[in-house]
Structures are given as C-alpha cells and as structure tokens.
Structure 1
Amino acid sequence: MRVAALAMVLVACAPPPAKAPRPPRLAAVTAALEALGGDAPDLAVAKARIVEARAEGSPAALVAAAERLLVVVADQQRDEARLREETVDLERRLEATERALLDIQQRYDETSTLAQLLREERVRTMKRVEELEARVEARNEQLRELREELEALKKIDMDRSP
C-alpha cells in the first residue's frame, strides 16, 4: 500500500508539460491532502517539499518528499484513530455518568417521597397525640369530679354515723 501511495504521489506530482493544465490526478491528490487537514503544519511542509522537489526536477528529492508526505499522512491517521478512541471512551464515560445521575435522581425522588410520607405521618401522629391528651385531660377532670363526689359522700356518711 505504501508503494502504491508513493507511486500515486510521484505520478501525480510529475512535472506537467509546458502550459498544460494541471493533471486531474494531482488535483485529486491535492484535494485528498486538503481533506486530511491542509492547515496542519507538517502536512503543509510536506506538500511544500513536494512542490520544491518538483520544481527542481530531482527524482530523489521528489521520492524523499513523497515518503515524508506518507509519514505525515500516517501520523495524522494515527492521531485521528487515537482521537476516535478517546471520543468513544468519553462517550462511554458520559453514558455511565448519565446513568449514575439518573440513579441518583431516582434515589433522591424516593428519599423525597419517603420524607414527605414521614412528615405526613408525623402530622397524623401529632394530631393523635393531641386527641389522646385531650381525652386524658377529660378523664382526669372526670376523676376529679368523682373524687369530689366521693369526698362529699364520705362526709355525708361520716355525718350520719354515730
């Protein structure tokens, strides 16, 4: 593959005949290079070396420049693959974080619901306590009244006894 790519670059970069339009293969190679990131400094330097070697007409310099271009393209492809892997890893982490957040939200909702139920139960309990306290107070009042009656009966009984 490397040889085929090198041959493609060499054929595409061969000097055109005088006043001939740019060969379509060179345009295709240039378009492919620009699609890979024509603004990358290493790529720009490699392309400039090919242009210089082509202008010099030196096949050895052209081969060296083409090999350098292949190295730069391979480096970019490795970087892109690494970035894709990092992106996939970050997406997995994001999904895990979202699942954890949903779990936390669910637990929060459950806790909030339980807290609300406890508050409602506390209110019911307090009302029940107030009712019981009122009943106890009423019974205590009845007991006082019964004691007073008992004391009154004892007093009457003592007054009747010789």
Structure 2
Amino acid sequence: MDRRSPPFTTLLLAVATPVAAIWLIPDQTDDVSRRLAAQGVKLDYGIEPVSFGPVANTVIGVAACAVVVACLALLAYGAARRTIARAWLGVAGSTLAIGFFLGFSWRVWTAGGIGANIGAGLVMLMSPVCIGLSSLPGLYGAVLLRRAHKQRQLSVLQQETAP
C-alpha cells in the first residue's frame, strides 16, 4: 500500500459506511404504524424515505458493505506490513463509528409514525456527543500523522544540510 492511498481509502470508507449502515439497519417504523399504514392512514416522516426498489437497494447495500470491508482490509494490511502509519487505523475507526451513527440517524429520521417522532429529537440531542466522542481516535491519529510528517521533513532537511 502506497503512503498516498490511506486518505483515499478513508474517504471511500466515509462514503460507504453510512450507506452500508442504512442497508443493514431495518426500517424503524413501529408495528402499530405499519398496521395503520396498511389500513390507509398516511404516516408522518421526519424525512421521507428514499428507495430505488428492492433489487437496487440490495445491490447498493451489498456494494457498500463490500467497499467497507475492502477499505478496512487494505488499511489493516498496510498497517500490518508497516507501509502506512498505524494511526490510520484510528482514523478509520472514527470514520466507521461516525458513518454508522449517521446511517442509524437516517433510519430513525425516516421512521414512519403518527404524530411526533421522539426518536428523531433524541438523535438530534445525542448527535454532538456521539460524533464528538467517536471523532477522538481520529483526531489523535491525525495528530500522530502530522507529527510523523514533520519528523520526516526534519530528517530530510538534516540529511541535505549534513556535510
């Protein structure tokens, strides 16, 4: 794995993780609302759910899961072979946690119901805490990567100026 590929791999992970989480987490509409919808009652949604059809949803979900697994495997392989800094695993872990939280939040917001969606309000209240806590390993990894980059630059400058 090249040193320039972890940012691209992490970006792919950031895009694919929420999509995979949305596919893996089932619809959060409760049974009572489902029965009322079957009787013709119009459900209320925080955000109207998006569907491309059962086949397309499955293809997109499986592809997103495959991208997540491939990205994690590439980063783990690069860290094990020491071709990339292990700090990228912390960045990937944070990206995975935040992406999963975003996918879960989407499922809560798109749950059908009658009246107010209490879960959506709770997700809004918990978002800063969850995203803040799950971003700590990524921030620490970014600090470690920045320090390693500065040390490499300093050693290159010292080698160039040495007689």
| Alignment TM class, shorter chain as reference | 0.3 to 0.5
TM-score w.r.t. the length of structure 1 is 0.33
- Bigger relative contact order (CA 8 A; separation at least 6): 2
Which has a greater percent of helix?
A: 1
Q: With the length of structure 2 as denominator, give the TM-score of the two structures.
A: 0.33
Greater Rg, structure 1 or structure 2? 1
